[in-house]
């Protein structure tokens, strides 16, 4: 045996005190509990360990101070026991503030802090829930779901396809953990010690509660429910005295997994559960149909029949169609299907010349049963809808024909006639375009709903009965929510939803709308408006200028149009910027004519009416601005309309009102196309005139082929014209005064024809193989991957912003992958342009961008999935703010050959 030893000598001085547990020496009070969680009625034992001796303030807090008391420490510790009461559910914060006595200690700390969250649970609040349902089922059967929970509890049951739920990783709702989740500490603590004596340790603030942030017409006009989603909801049911609830579901044509979810609640108690139901048939039918058809399309339809049993079976397969579809000479076929195998049969079918919804039904007779598979499919136009409009005024004692003649396919033709005593009816086309406008940027969203805020009755009258979302009140509320969601960290609103860049004009415009919506009684988040105001005030400090192009070839540097509009809207918000207003009043030479009207209105609204005359122009003349497609979207009509609107806001009886209204009305009447800014402000300005001038005391009657189809004594009259297409429509007025009418008809021409032309824009479409070889004959093979190239350029070397490039896919092709960079073998693409916004649909692609003299190239991929011959629509480019700028090119047909 051996050992090694070593002796070390050390000397030090100090003192200590006995402690049987670890003490924090960093200026924090450590709080410990004997359990992680408590049930109501139990004792909560708290142990405090402190860095020094002293007197300690103990509080129980959450959204307020529930209780407080004082403890004195001994041996740098203290303890306290409290009862877990109901008021402490789901958690309570125990805070400790320790004060050091004025002794001779050299410790630099004067105060120490600590807090701890203590979880408290009430077992009676957690309801037991169990689900009883069959584990396996066949399709097209009725199944009963039974739920057991607390007596007389309220229960809601849902049964949903698991595949749908997995798209967004949807979890079964857990109401108990939601309502009894940990609550953030929302009180703040303060002390004056740092102001009396210096303190080394920085203090901690209360914890935050930001976890919740984690937790038209360019679409296909014909919607069919092609895929029958399995989704059932029971509504709210009440359990009986034994806690039992049952719910019956009729399982449709379906194969897969259904998740059954149940949620129960009773008073302050909650509970939830889930079970799964497997749905499978002995015979499973899969139909390879295109997603849609166009008139005269021809397709080869493959049908796969799967035998899920362990025995061979003989099957008779047949196809039937309804609607604008034809199965041609397709006859029933008999096949043999081995056990646990599948067989494929092929049918030829086509779309007729009409458009509408059709249905394809595959029937399989096997093992003494008949199995069916039904698919709804839309026969949609290869080109867009066309519209016709007419409007006019009928004076008392006269009758007038209303021309609704057209060449539309009967199934597609529809229309509406609006009769009103309001002269605003003359601009119904513009209102209609606005309330249906399909694009979702901040400017267009606001333009869509601003007229609906003021002219509820007229908007309601012009909306078609089949437009279920045309409820003005609902639309305004939805727009408010959407605009609020577009706010950035600096208070501005993004131009596009989810976009990364702001729009100064769009932000002002949206704020104007939100202020008026709030005045009209709609719920608006005050914080949103406050943050916008902060942003506008900040932007005004830059005193930004622009070059204004006006008259024929004139230009000058002026204050940005956003400046005066910001001052006007801030004044409306009760936040006038007097110093900035005075600056521009002193420099009228840098203000455009419409900016002067807005600045004058800002002075009047802010209570300084004596300054209006100093800045208000004597007439709206001498400056006819050119149209611009970005920034503030100014144009002569918009400038005129916003000036008239501002003037009526402060003095509706001003002599200029009559002059400006006549001028604006004439400009709007003769304009072939107006952008959304011109329409919105034009309608807002003319609407104020219409409301004051509405004094008609007459009756109006509308007839179709001599038969009375509607009459009015003053209320707005709306008539669906679909039943009267092809008939002679007349309108007669009796009494004194006048009525105004507006008729709109829309539909698809029988041949799907359109005018192919380039007007200021040039758009083209080309097909390539994935290796980069151009396909010139529009012929593809099934399963081929195809690269679609869209090109866009402006003619005459002009710059055109806010252009939408639309490519309508033919049936037989489906969008494969929009992220080309992730696909192999396409490194030959070197010139790919990026769109400002992309909208990919089942049957079309919308790209939002700008155009100039340099050609832009856009790409996306499609796959040839359905053999056949299909109509190919044109590629379209439209300037969103000027319909005269457009391009339509490249219609024809494609062929997809069988593999």
* Spatial CB neighbours of 569, under 8 Å, sequence gap ≥ 6: 508, 511, 512, 515, 536
- Paired sense of beta strands 292-293 and 283-288, if any: unpaired
> What pLDDT score was predicted for residue 496?
85
Mapping DSSP onto H, E and C, the string for 449-510 reads HHHHHHCHHHHHHHCCCCCCCCCHHHHHHHHHHHHHHCECCCCCEECCCCCCCECHHHHHHH
> What pLDDT score was predicted for residue 193?
55
144 forms bridges with which residues in the sheet? 248
Structure tokens at 267: 């008073």
> What pLDDT score was predicted for residue 208?
36
Going by C-alpha positions, the residue among 591, 527, 529, 517 that lies closest to residue 560 is 591
Distance between CA atoms of 771 and 285, rounded to whole angstroms?
36
- Is the C-alpha dihedral spanning 527, 529, 535, 538 positive or negative? negative
Angle of CA points 460, 463, 468, to nearest 5°: 100
CB-based burial of residue 763 (10 Å sphere; 0-12 exposed, 13-18 middle, 19+ buried)? Answer: buried
User: Which percentage of the chain shows pLDDT scores above 70?
Assistant: 84
pLDDT at 466 over 60: no
Give the pLDDT mean for 355-374.
Answer: 91
Distance between CA atoms of 535 and 72, rounded to whole angstroms?
52
Give the pLDDT mean for 642-659.
Answer: 89
What proportions of the chain, in percent to the nearest 5, are helix, strand and coil? 25, 40, 40
pLDDT band at 653 (very low <50, low <70, confident <90, very high): confident
Distance between CA atoms of 267 and 816, rounded to whole angstroms?
50
Answer yes or no: are the C-beta atoms of 482 and 476 closer than 8 Å: no
116 forms bridges with which residues in the sheet? 94
> What pLDDT score was predicted for residue 881?
66
> What pLDDT score was predicted for residue 10?
47
Residue at token pair 């600045």 = 599
DSSP state of 126: B
C-alpha Rg value of the chain to the nearest Å: 36
* Spatial CB neighbours of 882, under 8 Å, sequence gap ≥ 6: 627, 629, 673, 675
Distance between CA atoms of 555 and 548, rounded to whole angstroms?
5
Answer yes or no: are the C-beta atoms of 725 and 403 closer than 8 Å: no
Cis peptide bond prior to 337, omega within 30° of 0: no
Distance between CA atoms of 101 and 335, rounded to whole angstroms?
97
Per-residue pLDDT of 153-169, as tens digits, reads: 999 999 999 998 988 88
Structure tokens at 897: 């050959």
Answer yes or no: are the C-beta atoms of 300 and 318 closer than 8 Å: no
Per-residue pLDDT of 817-859, as tens digits, reads: 655 545 566 788 888 999 988 888 878 899 999 998 899 999 9
> What pLDDT score was predicted for residue 202?
36
Pick from 45-49, 667-671, 710-714: least confident? 667-671
Q: Looking at the whole model, is its pTM more than 0.85?
A: no
CA dihedral (768, 772, 774, 780) in degrees, to 10, reads: -50
Give the pLDDT mean for 511-539.
Answer: 95
Could you give all domains of the chain from N- to C-terminal order, each with its CATH number?
A: 30-121 (2.60.40.1930), 125-180+221-279 (2.60.40.730), 300-379 (2.60.40.10), 386-421+696-747 (2.60.120.1540), 422-692 (1.50.10.20), 757-897 (2.60.40.740)
pLDDT at 420 over 50: yes
Distance between CA atoms of 402 and 389, rounded to whole angstroms?
10
Mapping DSSP onto H, E and C, the string for 717-786 reads EEEECHHHCCCCEEEEEEEECEEEEEEEEEECECCCCCCCEEEEEEEEEEEEECCCCEECCCEEECCCEE
pLDDT at 696 over 70: no
DSSP 3-state assignment of 601?
helix
Average pLDDT of the residues of the chain: 85
Distance between CA atoms of 297 and 810, rounded to whole angstroms?
9
Residue at token pair 């004139």 = 554
Answer yes or no: are the C-beta atoms of 850 and 804 closer than 8 Å: no
Pick from 85-89, 615-619, 696-700: least confident? 696-700
DSSP 3-state assignment of 689?
helix
Q: How far is CA 78 from CA 23, 113, 634, in A?
A: 12, 14, 72
E strand or H helix at 564 = helix 561-572
> What pLDDT score was predicted for residue 205?
37
Residue at token pair 């400056």 = 623
> What pLDDT score was predicted for residue 301?
92
- Paired sense of beta strands 269-279 and 785-794, if any: unpaired
* Structure-model confidence comparison of residues 207 and 613, the more confident one: 613
Per-residue pLDDT of 291-309, as tens digits, reads: 889 888 999 999 999 999 9
Going by C-alpha positions, the residue among 877, 754, 896, 887 that lies closest to residue 814 is 896
Structure tokens at 660: 């400006």
Give the pLDDT mean for 460-470.
Answer: 49
Going by C-alpha positions, the residue among 625, 694, 686, 691 that lies closest to residue 660 is 686
pLDDT at 244 over 50: yes
pLDDT band at 138 (very low <50, low <70, confident <90, very high): very high
Give the pLDDT mean for 433-449.
Answer: 74
Per-residue pLDDT of 173-203, as tens digits, reads: 999 999 999 988 888 766 665 555 444 333 3
- What is the largest distance, in Å, between two alpha-carbon atoms of the chain? 133
Distance between CA atoms of 81 and 45, rounded to whole angstroms?
5
- Is the C-alpha dihedral spanning 860, 861, 865, 866 positive or negative? positive
């Amino acid at each position: 045996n051996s050992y090694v030893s070593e002796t070390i000598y050390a000397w030090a001085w100090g003192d200590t005190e006995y402690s049987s547990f670890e003490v924090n020496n960093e200026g924090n009070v450590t709080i410990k509990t004997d359990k992680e969680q408590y049930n109501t009625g139990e004792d909560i034992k708290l142990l405090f360990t402190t860095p020094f001796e002293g007197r300690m303030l103990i509080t129980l807090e959450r959204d307020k101070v529930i209780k407080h008391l004082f403890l004195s420490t001994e041996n740098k510790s203290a303890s306290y026991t409290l009862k877990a009461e109901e008021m402490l559910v789901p958690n309570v914060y125990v805070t400790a503030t320790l004060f050091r006595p004025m002794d001779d200690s050299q410790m630099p700390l004067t105060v120490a802090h600590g807090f701890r969250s203590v979880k408290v649970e009430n077992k009676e609040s957690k309801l037991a829930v169990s689900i009883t349902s069959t584990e396996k089922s066949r399709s097209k059967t009725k199944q009963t779901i039974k739920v057991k929970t607390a007596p007389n509890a309220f229960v809601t049951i849902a049964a949903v396809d698991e595949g749908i739920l997995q798209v967004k990783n949807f979890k079964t709702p857990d109401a108990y953990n939601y309502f009894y989740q940990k609550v953030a500490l929302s009180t703040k603590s303060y002390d004056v010690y740092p102001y009396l004596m210096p303190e080394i340790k920085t203090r901690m603030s209360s914890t935050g509660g930001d976890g919740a942030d984690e937790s038209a017409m360019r679409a296909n006009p014909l919607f069919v429910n092609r895929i029958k989603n399995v989704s059932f909801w029971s509504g709210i049911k009440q359990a009986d005295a034994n806690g039992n609830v049952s719910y019956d579901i009729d399982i449709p044509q379906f194969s897969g997994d259904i998740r059954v979810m149940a949620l129960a609640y009773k008073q302050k108690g909650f509970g939830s559960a889930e079970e799964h139901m497997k749905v499978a048939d002995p015979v499973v039918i899969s139909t390879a149909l295109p997603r849609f058809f166009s008139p005269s399309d021809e397709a080869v339809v493959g049908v796969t029949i799967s035998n899920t049993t362990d025995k061979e079976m003989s099957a008779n397969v047949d196809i039937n169609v309804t609607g604008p579809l034809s199965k041609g000479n397709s006859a029933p076929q008999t096949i043999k299907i081995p056990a646990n195998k599948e067989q494929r049969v092929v049918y030829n079918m086509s779309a007729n010349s009409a458009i509408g919804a059709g249905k394809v039904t595959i029937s399989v007779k096997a093992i003494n049963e008949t199995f069916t598979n039904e698919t709804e499919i839309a026969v949609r136009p290869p080109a867009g809808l066309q519209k016709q409009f007419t409007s006019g005024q009928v004076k008392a004692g006269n009758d007038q024909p209303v021309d609704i003649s057209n060449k539309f396919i009967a199934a597609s033709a529809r229309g509406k006639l609006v009769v009103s005593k309001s002269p605003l009816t003359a601009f119904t086309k513009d209102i209609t375009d606005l309330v249906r406008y399909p694009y979702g940027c901040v400017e267009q969203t606001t333009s869509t709903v601003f007229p609906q805020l003021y002219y509820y009755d007229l908007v309601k009258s012009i909306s078609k009965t089949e437009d279920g979302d045309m409820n003005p009140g609902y639309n305004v509320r939805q727009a408010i929510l959407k605009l609020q969601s577009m706010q950035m960290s600096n208070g501005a609103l993004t131009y596009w939803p989810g976009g990364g860049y702001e729009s100064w004009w769009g932000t002002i415009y949206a704020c104007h709308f939100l202020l008026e919506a709030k005045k009209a009684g709609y719920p608006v988040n005050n914080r949103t408006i406050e943050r916008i105001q902060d942003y506008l005030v900040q932007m005004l400090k830059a005193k930004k200028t622009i070059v204004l192009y006006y008259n024929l070839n004139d230009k000058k540097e002026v204050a940005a149009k956003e400046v005066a509009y910001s001052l006007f809207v801030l004044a409306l918000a009760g936040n006038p910027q007097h110093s900035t207003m005075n600056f521009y009043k002193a420099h009228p030479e840098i203000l455009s004519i419409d900016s002067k009207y807005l600045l004058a209105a800002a002075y009047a609204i802010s209570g300084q009416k004596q300054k209006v005359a100093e800045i208000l122009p004597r007439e709206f003349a001498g400056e006819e601005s050119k149209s611009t497609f970005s920034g503030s979207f100014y144009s002569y009509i918009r400038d005129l309309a916003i000036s008239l609107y501002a003037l009526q806001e402060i003095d509706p009886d001003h002599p200029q009102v009559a002059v400006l209204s006549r001028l604006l009305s004439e400009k709007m009447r003769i304009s072939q196309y107006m952008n959304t800014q011109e329409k919105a402000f034009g309608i807002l300005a003319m609407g104020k005139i219409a409301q004051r001038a509405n004094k008609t005391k007459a009756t109006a009657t509308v007839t179709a082929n001599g038969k009375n189809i509607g009459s009015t004594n003053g209320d707005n009259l709306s008539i669906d014209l679909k039943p009267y297409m092809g008939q002679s429509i007349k309108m007669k007025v009796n009494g004194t005064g006048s009525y105004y009418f507006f008729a709109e008809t829309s539909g698809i021409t029988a041949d799907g024809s359109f005018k192919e032309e380039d007007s200021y824009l040039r758009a083209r479409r080309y097909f390539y193989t994935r290796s980069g070889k151009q396909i010139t004959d529009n012929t593809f093979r099934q399963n081929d991957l195809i690269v679609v190239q869209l090109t866009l350029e402006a003619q005459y070397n002009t710059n055109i912003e806010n252009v939408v490039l639309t490519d309508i896919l033919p049936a037989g092709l489906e969008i494969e992958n929009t992220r080309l960079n992730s696909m192999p073998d396409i490194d030959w693409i070197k010139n790919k342009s990026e769109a400002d916004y992309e909208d990919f649909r089942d049957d079309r692609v919308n790209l939002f961008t700008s155009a100039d003299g340099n050609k832009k190239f856009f790409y996306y991929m499609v796959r040839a999935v359905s053999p056949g011959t299909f109509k190919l629509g044109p590629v379209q480019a439209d300037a969103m703010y000027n319909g005269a700028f457009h391009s339509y090119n490249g219609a024809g047909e494609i062929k997809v050959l069988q593999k």
